[in-house]
Amino acid sequence: MFRVDHFPTHEYQGLKLRHGRPYPFGATVFGNAVNFSVYSRYATSCTLVLFRNREEKPFIEIPFFKEFRLGNVFSMMVFDLDYENIEYGFRMDGPFQPEEGHRFDKSKILLDPYAKLIVGRDVWGKQPNWDSLYQYRARVVFDDFDWENDLPMETPVNDLIVYEMHVRNFTCGAGSDVKHKGTFAGIVEKIPYLKELGVNCVELMPIHEFDEFENSRTSPVDGRQLYNLWGYSNVGFFAPKAAYASSGRFSMQVDELKNLIKCLHANGIEVILDVVFNHTAEGNEQGPYISYRGIDNKTYYMLTPEGDYFNFSGCGNTLNCNNPNVRDMIVESLRYWVTDYHVDGFRFDLAAILGRDQNGNPMSNPPLLESLAHDPVLGKTKLIAEAWDAGGLYQVGSFPSWGRWAEWNGKFRDSVRRFLKSDPEVLDDVKERILGSPDLYAAEKRGIKASVNFVTAHDGFTLMDLFSYNNKHNEANGEDNRDGDNHNNSWNCGCEGPTDDADINRLRHQQVKNAITLLMVSQGIPMILSGDEMGNSQQGNNNAYCQDNEIAWLDWNDLQKNADIFRYFKQMIQFRRQHKVLRYEEHLSHTDYLGLGYPDFSWHGVKAWQPWAGHNNLTLAFMLNGKYAPHDDFIYVAMNMHWEMHGFELPQLPEGMVWHVFANTGMEAPEDISEPGKEPRIEDQHEVLVGPRSIIVLVGRYFPKNFVST
Amino acid sequence: MNIGTYTLGARLDSLNYLEAQDALIDIIEKSSDVVLDMTDCHYVSSAGLRVLLLAKKTTAAQGIKLYLVGVNAEVKDVMDVTGFTSFFDIYETMEDCMKAIEATS
């Protein structure tokens, strides 16, 4: 079918052109033409700059003719381009008046803010030509991946077990035994491992294109190169990081990432992307021109009345998220990752910034957050906020949600850590956390599903380090140990760092197991930090954002070294997946509202039904009535963070049911945990002895009538 | 039994993909099974991979088979990591491929 409006109307230096379509922004293929469209409110003129692949000099620069501008959008179609072999950028002309917010400079070649394929940094850590006029280079993308019957999975949010991971850290380290280390393809090779562990969702730390050389320097400890490893610094919001693809050198990162997501889905594992819409890699006034600053500085950035950059992100600039046009870009970006990459959800870095107005003030009903909550395409997409920012806004429990937004529950992390180190002041708070934080989320009926629980995340100590260090040890980061959090609530169990003391090492393993137990038996969405399941250490570094080396990389040999920890994690995850009663969506009533003989949830102490009975505010027990799930077992958990052993009186089960022991962190492997469903019956049905700093998990189920004791 | 074969040159990319695509579709229409000989091919671009996939879809729609022969290690690796390999039957040599075709017929 030919269209009568699809013929060239203009010619420029041998290339045929016509005025383009303003929407969609970016570069889009229409038949034998590519439509280029870019928005700038304040630019006076714009030029399309075309390169042959990887060539330093452009082969043509085509000015957008006057008639190619509609409103504030420059758009044109260029015919008969060999579009697999061209790269494109823009030059923008306009005022350079920083005090007014304008920084146009037509000597710069700028990346399209909507670029879907960015080349130029194709191999990790390979120095680019810093003198090159155009470093991050946009290409036109093939968007016809063969997904077969794949779609976003829409796993119920309360059934998720999230595994937070980093593309390089996961497979770059010793013993990973994959062919494509540090890449999307490397993760595909490890899918059998993820399945064995039992997680059903991976949360990928930023995979949008960023600059690993941003702020690069060498380590004062050993002189090694330090990188921006984590990538919380976007170059482009629509393009995957080329150097995370083993096929990046052939510019096939789009297909490689899509294949990863397709393979994960085929194995029942969802994908959440950690997205960074709070700032860009352009830094402050001294930073480089990559895109936004030169395309339309005043649109894209939050500026002070003097035209300087606000720094609510702690990274030099702040994206102007509640400018209507930037808002649209963010929505477009998210829709694109869902429609074209089948992504299942997003975790928003420093999301409190997304609720600030253009002057930086927090809003009560931020339009961006409301748009995302009600977006038709994102209607079943998980939205998770890191509900604070570097400007001091802390919104855990109060992030505007419209019933759609979940939060990283930082209070879960803090309370549970304090409880685990036997802090007697925190018991009441821990009770809220175990229940899915009703104190934070019940009043607005946000439910348990609003709470993403975690003890560790990429920011801060790994789980093993949490029990191996009292203090952070970030000297290798080159900031005199000033960087990283000082409020770790950690405890080294008696020695700072590695030790040969068997008792200390045993206690550390026990504490790691205590932590994963609390995480898995609490209501809410549990999130595990990748590597914790094998006892990964970062040598006390609690901010390893720049350590692209064995400090941050997983050492897969730890799987053998800490085999008991891996086994414990695996069984504990399986246990959670088998028990619906641990995965409620809405908060519990603590009453027997269905008349089933027991309340849905009950607190206990060292005496059954007497939660106030305890020792030093460090003992606590609870019971879940499986009939409310429904059709599940009873579960009883006794926690003793006291340094003495205590007996816990057990609540009596309904007639015919008996207690079986699933886990006891006070025991050494293999007695520390059972295979779920094969738990041994306990001798004494009236009391359990819980060792110092230990947790016991019991399962109450009907005892087979034909059981013959051997 | 009418086995069509097509031999690729050193590269399959945006400079020659249309030519290869037309020739392949032509052969597919006239054949019962199709063998694509990639022994001399050492580079396949995104556009090239899509020609392979299009050929695969066309053969499947016609109820016939497409075999790839002599896929160079680097090309194979790119096909692996981008998920393309899973769509194809790949043989090292023409001889292996012919044997396999005989065995199924």
Mean pLDDT of A566-584: 98
The shortest CB-CB distance from B14 to any of A85, A180, A258 is to A85
Structure tokens at A65: 């003719």
CB atoms within 10 A of CB A376: 6
Residue pLDDT, tens place only, A103-114: 999 999 999 999
The shortest CB-CB distance from A84 to any of B47, B77, B80 is to B47
Catalytic status, residue A386 = yes
* Chain B nearest C-alpha distance from A182 (Å): 13
Distance between CA A321 and CA A367 in Å, rounded?
10
Q: Strands (DSSP E) along A570-627, which ranges?
A: 601-604, 619-624
Distance between CA A435 and CA A654 in Å, rounded?
23
Q: Give me chain A's average pLDDT, please.
A: 95
Q: Taken in order A232, A235, A236, A242, is the CA torsion positive or negative?
A: negative
* Chain A nearest C-alpha distance from B1 (Å): 30
pLDDT of residue B2: 86
Residues sharing a CB contact under 8 Å with residue A278, sequence separation 6 or more, in sequence order: A312, A313, A315, A318, A319, A321, A349, A350, A351, A353, A354, A389
Question: Crossing angle, helix B46-62 and helix B17-30, to 10 degrees?
Answer: 10
CB atoms within 10 A of CB A178: 18
- Give A612's DSSP letter: T
Structure tokens at A478: 């080159």
Closest alpha carbon within chain B to A244: B81
**Burial classification of residue A85, based on how many CB atoms lie within 10 Å of its CB (0-12 exposed, 13-18 middle, 19 or more buried):** middle
Neighboring chain A residues of B49 at a CB cutoff of 8 Å: 252, 255
Distance between CA A387 and CA A394 in Å, rounded?
6
Q: How far is CA A569 from the centre of its chain?
A: 20
The yes-or-no verdict on residue A710 having pLDDT over 50 is no
The yes-or-no verdict on residue A708 having pLDDT over 80 is no
Residue pLDDT, tens place only, A151-209: 999 999 999 999 999 999 999 999 999 999 999 999 999 999 999 999 999 999 999 99
Structure tokens at A56: 């330093």
Please judge whether A259 and B14 are an interchain contact, meaning their C-beta atoms are less than 8 angstroms apart: no
Please judge whether B82 and A144 are an interchain contact, meaning their C-beta atoms are less than 8 angstroms apart: no
**Which region among A35-39, A90-94, A171-175, A212-216 has the lowest average model confidence (pLDDT)?**
A212-216
Distance between CA A451 and CA A415 in Å, rounded?
14
**Catalytic pick among A386, A548, A600, A679:** A386
Residue pLDDT, tens place only, B62-79: 899 999 999 999 999 999
The yes-or-no verdict on residue A612 having pLDDT over 60 is yes
Q: How confident is the model at residue A466 (pLDDT cuts 50, 70, 90)?
A: very high
In order, the DSSP letters of A374-425 are H-STTTTSEEEE--B-TTS-B-TTTS--TTTEEEE-HHHHHHHHHHHTT-TT
Mean pLDDT of A446-473: 97
H or E element in which residue B20 lies: helix B17-30
C-beta of residue A119 within 8 angstroms of C-beta of residue A87? yes
Distance between CA A530 and CA A457 in Å, rounded?
8
Q: How far is CA A671 from the centre of its chain?
A: 34
- Say whether residue A188 is in contact with chain B using an 8 A CB cutoff: yes
Q: Taken in order A297, A300, A301, A302, is the CA torsion positive or negative?
A: positive
* Chain B nearest C-alpha distance from A260 (Å): 8
SS3 track for A461-498 = CCHHHHCCCCCCCCHHHCCCCCCCCCCCCCCCCCCCCC
Q: How far is CA A521 from the centre of its chain?
A: 22
The yes-or-no verdict on residue B55 having pLDDT over 50 is yes
SS3 A559: helix
Which of A32, A250, A258, A262 to probe the B interface (max B CBs under 10 A)?
A250
Residue pLDDT, tens place only, A200-253: 999 999 999 999 998 888 999 989 999 999 999 999 999 999 999 999 999 999
The shortest CB-CB distance from B82 to any of A83, A144, A256 is to A256
Model ipTM? 0.93
Mean pLDDT of A100-124: 97
- Say whether residue A185 is in contact with chain B using an 8 A CB cutoff: yes
Please judge whether A250 and B49 are an interchain contact, meaning their C-beta atoms are less than 8 angstroms apart: no
The shortest CB-CB distance from B81 to any of A146, A251, A259 is to A259
The shortest CB-CB distance from A259 to any of B45, B47, B82 is to B82
Residue window 45-104, chain A: list those with CB within 8 Å of chain B: 82-85
Please judge whether A84 and B13 are an interchain contact, meaning their C-beta atoms are less than 8 angstroms apart: yes
The shortest CB-CB distance from B78 to any of A144, A252, A262 is to A252
Distance between CA A667 and CA A658 in Å, rounded?
21
H or E element in which residue A220 lies: none
Residue pLDDT, tens place only, B17-42: 889 999 999 999 998 899 999 999 99
Please judge whether A259 and B83 are an interchain contact, meaning their C-beta atoms are less than 8 angstroms apart: yes
H or E element in which residue A428 lies: helix A427-434
Superfamily, domain A588-702: Golgi alpha-mannosidase II (2.60.40.1180)
- Dihedral, CA of residue A567, residue A573, residue A577 and residue A580, to nearest 10: 120
The yes-or-no verdict on residue A456 having pLDDT over 70 is yes
The yes-or-no verdict on residue A620 having pLDDT over 80 is yes
Residues sharing a CB contact under 8 Å with residue B73, sequence separation 6 or more, in sequence order: none
pLDDT of residue A706: 55
Q: How confident is the model at residue A1 (pLDDT cuts 50, 70, 90)?
A: low
Q: Which fold has domain A10-139?
A: Immunoglobulin-like (2.60.40)
Cis peptide before A630 (omega within 30 of 0): yes
* Chain A nearest C-alpha distance from B14 (Å): 6
Domains detected in chain B = 3-104 (3.30.750.24)
Asked if the domains A10-139 and A588-702 are classified in one and the same CATH topology, the answer is: yes
Domains of chain A by residue range: 10-139, 409-561, 588-702
In order, the DSSP letters of B27-93 are HHHH-SEEEEE-TT--EE-HHHHHHHHHHHHHHHHHT-EEEEE---HHHHHHHHHTT-GGG-EEESS
* Chain A nearest C-alpha distance from B2 (Å): 29
Please judge whether A184 and B81 are an interchain contact, meaning their C-beta atoms are less than 8 angstroms apart: yes
Structure tokens at A365: 């009903």
Tokens 């077992």 belong to residue = A633
Any bridge partners for residue A348, and if so which?
A: A275, A385
pLDDT of residue A219: 92
pLDDT of residue A707: 54
Structure tokens at A380: 């079943």
Please judge whether B46 and A251 are an interchain contact, meaning their C-beta atoms are less than 8 angstroms apart: yes
Neighboring chain A residues of B13 at a CB cutoff of 8 Å: 84-85
Neighboring chain B residues of A144 at a CB cutoff of 8 Å: 50
- Say whether residue A246 is in contact with chain B using an 8 A CB cutoff: yes
Closest alpha carbon within chain A to B15: A82
Q: How confident is the model at residue A6 (pLDDT cuts 50, 70, 90)?
A: confident
C-beta of residue A88 within 8 angstroms of C-beta of residue A109? no
C-beta of residue A598 within 8 angstroms of C-beta of residue A609? no
**Catalytic pick among A349, A423, A465, A672:** A349
- Say whether residue A183 is in contact with chain B using an 8 A CB cutoff: yes
Which of A148, A252, A265, A267 to probe the B interface (max B CBs under 10 A)?
A252
Closest alpha carbon within chain B to A255: B82
pLDDT of residue A313: 83
Q: How confident is the model at residue A692 (pLDDT cuts 50, 70, 90)?
A: very high
C-beta of residue A319 within 8 angstroms of C-beta of residue A278? yes
Phi, psi of A670 (to 5 degrees): -90, 10
- Say whether residue B81 is in contact with chain A using an 8 A CB cutoff: yes
